[in-house]
Amino acid sequence: MTDPKSNSAAPPRSSRPAGRRARRSPSSRRLWGAVLLAALLLLLVTLWLLRTRVPTEFVAAPAEQLAGGIGPLGAYDLYFGTPDAAGLQRETRYLMRSGEPEEDAGTIIRALVDGPLRAGLSPWPAATVVRQIFLADDGTLYVNFGSALRWQCPRGDFMEWLLAGSLTRSLCANIPEVAGVRVMIDGESSGALIETVPLEWTLRPGMFAEVE
């Protein structure tokens, strides 16, 4: 006698081999390609935005300033000559700020010696050496330069006036404690800076006008 269960129809078997995944349709592959392309574009845009946010006008501090670690940056107004030799013009520079008047004065003078970043005249010789800086109780800042400042400064009354004005306006504009500047050359505090500006003078900002 035949078992009735043996005559029942067997369930249909899949024609796909076991363990093999169905192939993705062309539309699915295009979708994943579009997603990957969008992610790549988003990454490139993000990197571009981060790069353009970095300030481009910062000036690297001298190596001796970085020796003790990185300090806060401050905006300094430095003064150089106008290209047409009409007077002083201001240039903003970002430099290390210590909060100590003598140290900040040295930072400013080094930046002046480096020269302007845009068109302008600089009277500062590359061989300029600062020997000592001292701030007196009355707000007078004494700056003792080496003799190279005197002998290598470009000749002419305007360049000597520009040297004195560049120094005085830059120091007094950025260091609140400084009310005036006395220049010395190798310890000398009498005679002329170059030929006409007396070393006996206390130089003050009002003596040197800025061209508007």
Give residue 112's pLDDT. 97
Residue 5, domain member (yes or no):
no
Range of the domain at 193: 63-207
**Residue 169, Cβ neighbours under 10 Å: how many?**
25
Domain contains 11:
no
Q: Is residue 106 situated within a structural domain?
A: yes
Report whether pLDDT(144) > 60: yes
Indicate whether 75 belongs to any domain: yes
Given pLDDT bands bounded at 50, 70 and 90, which one contains residue 2? very low
Is 114 inside any structural domain?
Answer: yes
Q: What is the number of other CB atoms lying within 10 angstroms of the CB of residue 197?
A: 18
Residue 136 has pLDDT above 80, yes or no: yes
Residue 52 inside a domain? The answer is: no
Percentage above 70 pLDDT, the chain: 74
Instruction: Calculate the average pLDDT of the chain.
Output: 81
Cα distances from 120 to residues 52, 62, 76, 127, 162, in angstroms, run: 27, 22, 17, 19, 11
Indicate whether 22 belongs to any domain. no
Whether residue 137 lies inside any domain: the answer is yes
Q: Name the burial class of residue 175, with classes exposed (0-12), middle (13-18) and buried (19+) by CB atoms within 10 angstroms of its CB.
A: buried
Question: Which of 46-50, 81-85, 116-120, 128-132 shows the lowest per-residue confidence on average (mean pLDDT)?
Answer: 46-50
Amino acid in position 102: E
Task: Report the domain count for the chain.
Answer: 1
